[in-house]
Structure 1
Amino acid sequence: MTGHLARAPSPPPERSIGWSNALSRRFGNMAGRRAYDLIVPSGHDRAALPLVVMLHGCSQTARDFAIGTRMDQLAEELGFLVAYPDQPRSANLGKSWNWFRYGDQGRDMGEPSILAGITRQVMDEFHVDPARVFVAGLSAGGAAAAVMAQAYPDLYAAVGIHSGLASGSAGSMSAAFSTMRRGALLTPIRARHPVPTIVFHGDRDDTVSSVNGDQAIAQARPDGEMITDTIEGRSQGGMAYTRTLMTEPGGSWASEQWLLHGGGHAWAGGHPAGSHTDPSGPDASREMLRFFMAHPKGDGSTGL
């Protein structure tokens, strides 16, 4: 699907958020239009920067998600761009990304085409390292991130899925609720071109069962032998977790699965001023960034 760019006025409106600037942007194509905030760290003109696209959960806003994940602060500290697309109620009454609709699960169609368009717009307008473009999300946003990784493995180097679901795990709203509670009835289709994947999920999540995290990891796993290592740990806030690392011998693919013991439907290590956060958990935002920067495309730099 081809589309046109809906460019912001020049100069773009911006607002100070304390540690960087949030630029208000819009993108549109034949599938629709979406606003998004873009976080630009200071000194951004010095070198090509990584880009992280962050997809909020149901009932959240882009700004609420930014506050809860503190990804803005990490962007300034570590030096990367963050785009926060905003899902309007006109697209979904609960402000949820429509990850469960067939028309929003494929390349160059529906919401995936809009989110890919936002990503490319930022890459066109700013000095972005194409080897270090990533996508992550929470809940419905995590499910949408899984869709984006499967539909655009050429665009995103790695994906982060927090309390989300595998791509294509439901095909309707009614099926979505069943899948959230019990996991997909049919095994989600394995990714043809799997990208490195990091998953966080609470084992007490009563909104999206943790079996969905298992299915998201399984979907991203390539065929062949894998090296698996399991680490038990506890966050500074006291939450126990099991971290499972899976790597391909001699290959570039890897994944991490964090099972948060006692964790509910909330972003681990998030700021309490944001919705759906659990400050007691491990810092999911920082851990995702660590994972992302260790998995650039091709021969890209591995450090921020």
Structure 2
Amino acid sequence: MKIALPGLALAAAILTSFTATAGSWQQGVAAGGFDNVHIYTPDNRSPIGDGQALLVLLHGCVQPIDAYLTANLEEAAEEFGMVLAVPEAMHKAGYGCWSYWEGERTRTAGDYGKLVQLATGLAADRERDIDPAQVYIAGLSSGASFAHTTACLAPDVFAGVGASAGPSIGTSAAGALGPCENADVAARCLSYAGSHAPHFASQVASFAHGAQDSTVNSCYAGQNARGMARVYGVEKLRGTSTISEGSGTAEESRWDDGRITTLTLDGVDHAWSGGSRASGKYISDAGINYARYLGRFFAASNHRVAGHSQTQPDTN
């Protein structure tokens, strides 16, 4: 059974029409109000729910979206039946960043509104067979903060969020490059959601940070997780586990009901962790494939798919 999302008809009208090609990238698509979106459509369907999943992935500062064409995203897309959408920010701040520290934070403002349009429009496109209960958003650095903020603004749309090396929501530009800037993540996230806050009862989140990152303070992953734990009303589980993939490893902590995880990505600097043979600007091949991890985490922990029994992600 699919869950209806508000405004799907409007979003479908806004989304520029195009023909999907299974198992390949479409580059430079105009969609959801963005001029430049790379979209990958897999051959496979999601192992849960009804149709394919959707992951909207946001680039970092000074990072072209073309970098994600060589980041091993296809592996995750095919294994977990995820359509991938990688948009280039329209209203960029300095250094090509998503402007998470500027402007109005509402679900209709600027690039926040466009991301909601992009996600709901793709989910409304019947030819894509996307399950609206499996719509997710993730990002790197400024894109991570922008993705996290968007997931707080529209928890009814986004069933899960993955943020890698991103400062906490609502922090300043200076906080990205200096000492950890304290933020009341829970209060900000709930404020952004407004009347949509009840949808946090079924949202999940993952926060990752490279162990070798000397650009953005690693404190933010923990601060974000603790804040979202308050929003979700869950407690952290004791102990950690090691995830291995090829020669890459990561240390994982978990919260109740599979709702939140944090990852320390061993060997990874300030970059998206693409796994073995990944390449591109601010794409690391030193760690695990974070997109694949997210696909597994979302499929195992989705609380919106009817009849789906939540389990902890397989760490192999």
Give the TM-score band, short-chain normalised: 0.7 to 0.9
In 2, are the aligned partners of 1:179 and 1:185 still within 8 Å (CA)?
Answer: no
3-state DSSP class of the match of 1:222?
helix
The structure with the greater share of residues assigned to helix is 2
**Cα distance, 1:225–1:128 mapped onto 2, change above 3 Å:** closer
**Structure 1 position 253, deviation (Å):** 6.1
1:100-147 deviation digits (Å, cap 9, x = unpaired): 1142x3322121101111111111213211111101111111111111
1:198 aligns with 2:206: yes
Q: What's the TM-score, normalizing by structure 1?
A: 0.80
- 2:272 is aligned to 267
Conserved 8 A contact 2:62-2:96: yes
The answer for the alignment partner of 1:25 in structure 2 is 29
1:180 and 1:61, CA in 2 relative to 1: closer, same or farther beyond 3 A? Answer: same
Identity of aligned residues (%): 22
Equivalents in 2 of 1:134, 1:225: separation in Å? 20
- Output the aligned Cα RMSD: 3.0
| Aligned ranges 1:285-300 → 2 under 5 Å | 285-300=291-306
- Structure 1 CA distance, aligned partners of 2:243 and 2:295? 19
Match of 1:173 in 2: none
Residue 229 in structure 1 maps to residue 238 in structure 2: yes
In the other structure, the counterpart of 1:177 is 174
Of residues 183-192 and 149-158 in structure 1, the stretch that sits farther from structure 2 once superposed is 183-192
Q: TM-score, normalised by structure 2?
A: 0.78
- Aligned 1:89-238 pairs, distance under 5 A: 91-103=92-104, 105-125=105-125, 126-170=128-172, 176-190=173-187, 191-192=189-190, 193=197, 194=200, 195-222=203-230, 224=233, 226-233=235-242, 235-236=244-245
List per-residue Cα deviations over 1:42-65 (Å, max 9, x = no partner).
367xx6211111111111222212
> What SS does the aligned partner of 2:260 have?
strand
Q: Distance in 2 between matches of 1:178 and 1:165?
A: 7
Distance 1:91 1:217 in 2: 26
Task: Give structure 2 stretches of 5+ with no counterpart.
Answer: 1-6, 191-196, 311-316
Unaligned runs of 5+ in 1: 171-175
Q: Equivalences for 1:34-53 in 2 at 5 Å?
A: 34-42=35-43, 48-53=51-56
2:276 is the alignment partner of 1:258? no
Q: Shift of residue 261 of structure 1?
A: 4.3
Change in 2 beyond 3 A, CA 1:77/1:204: closer
Q: Name the CA shift for 1:278/1:290 in 2 (closer, same or farther; >3 Å).
A: same
Cα pair distance change 1:286/1:236, threshold 3 Å: closer
